[in-house]
Structure 1
């Protein structure tokens, strides 16, 4: 089996790449990077010729997409994703990392059958979330052999020692003695980066296809997440509730129903705790 991990030097991509090397013997494993790196293929998914050359060289059986853009997610999806899919063999398994943000009515415990909805363009997350929805639709329309994995916020230290930006920010603020407010009434299904990477290595060997919500069975508020994760005893993480006005503009809960995932992958996803600090 020949596997390509796109963005294999990023926060999640690098963990997927490492877990594949550790837990799966592939006939060929390739990782891509937008910059020139030793042992990685330089690739810009916006460049059609670049994509064609890489696909022709690697001839992958599996392509994994953990890519995201801080500047232009819409271009990444509408140009880059279309480029990748257009040059891939139709039998290639395509694994796409999506988001819980595409549920915006706030009821939570969303199943795979629940309807995604676009965010209002005034929402600062709309450019990212709406592009992710577009990506799901593009994949379903033109590439049948796919796994769309929807995840809540990804956290923790990956094998390269990188932290997600949310936790890194809070740890830095606390180390400087600054108080941080986090909401008690916004709920998410938080997923550890290593667990998600391991899940991908297992799912790619299964026959399950389509859309799958991944992560632990437990949901957490932003306040309980950080309070538990950091094992904070100094009252530097301050609880608050978002107002009714804020609640009208954003979903109170994006928590995912992960029943199917946990039946396929029992004991893979951890409940949020402070033990990750010792890894």
Structure 2
């Protein structure tokens, strides 16, 4: 298999690259600023011409899009995705999306809604939703809606949430997290395994990938402390007004062999 990973210098993209490379696949990764591997190809994803040149020259069997650009997601959806859709033909395309709504037990057919300007991170969410609309017109695609990603990747890098928690633990500073807001999570190496399984499979459509049970922001940080052996006394619960949002994983459990474990299990 020849796999092109767009955003291979990122947290998830680098994990997928590492796993595929070590499994013997022919892999090309792209980077924008931080070059993890010498053989990575430099790419500004807003440069559609350069992107299409890489696709044409490498001729991959599968393209895995792991880019998460909070500022440019809408521009990517409007300018880049249509050009890529028109160019790749029958090439399999795996797109890492996000939660598209605030609901309990969200299935894959949940109706996305565009965020208004005053809502949190609206450019990012709206961009992913708009990209999904373009991708669904491709011939061979899979849209992965993952839980919030945590863990330590094969390069020894830790996710942003864990790093922020570690700062509070080291400084002994109180870390207040909502005990009433539930969300879905997924460990980075397990998510990468699921993406690789989907890349080599034939499922076309949308799939949720997260741990079975949602967890509160407070519970998540407590669980991280237990996992890494950190003092959790700095983590304090509060209550906030916000919608609860988490995935239904019934489809994932039917289709995939990859096991997604609870954060409290090794």
Give yes or no for TM over 0.5. yes
Structure 2 unaligned regions, length at least 5 = none
Mapping for residues 153-164 of structure 1, pairs under 5 Å:
153-164=148-159
Q: Residue 29 of structure 2 aligns with which residue?
A: 31
- Structure 1 Cα separation of the partners of residues 98 and 216 of structure 2: 17
User: What is the aligned-residue RMSD (CA, Å)?
Assistant: 1.7
Q: Residue 167 of structure 2 aligns with which residue?
A: 172
Query: Following superposition, which runs of at least 4 residues in structure 1 exceed 4 angstroms of deviation?
Result: none
Aligned residues: 261
Q: Residue 107 of structure 2 aligns with which residue?
A: 111
Mapping for residues 77-226 of structure 1, pairs under 5 Å:
77-88=77-88, 90-100=89-99, 102-104=100-102, 107-141=103-137, 143-226=138-221
Give the conservation status (yes or no) of the 8 Å contact 1:191–1:216. Answer: yes
- Structure 2 Cα separation of the partners of residues 182 and 68 of structure 1: 24
**TM-superposition CA deviations, 1:102-156 (whole Å, max 9, x none):** 113xx41111112111222101311111111001001113x12100000111001
- Structure 1 Cα separation of the partners of residues 45 and 168 of structure 2: 36
Give me the TM-score of the superposition, normalised by structure 2: 0.92
Q: CA deviation at 1:265?
A: 2.5
Give the conservation status (yes or no) of the 8 Å contact 1:46–1:83. Answer: no
- Structure 2 Cα separation of the partners of residues 86 and 157 of structure 1: 36
Give me the TM-score of the superposition, normalised by structure 1: 0.88
Q: Secondary structure at the match of 1:63?
A: strand
Q: CA deviation at 1:194?
A: 0.5
Q: CA deviation at 1:44?
A: 2.0
Q: Residue 246 of structure 2 aligns with which residue?
A: 255
- Structure 1 Cα separation of the partners of residues 53 and 256 of structure 2: 35
**TM-superposition CA deviations, 1:53-102 (whole Å, max 9, x none):** 211211111000010113322122222323332321x21110000111x1
Give the conservation status (yes or no) of the 8 Å contact 1:230–1:274. Answer: no
Structure 1 unaligned regions, length at least 5 = none
- Structure 2 Cα separation of the partners of residues 2 and 140 of structure 1: 23
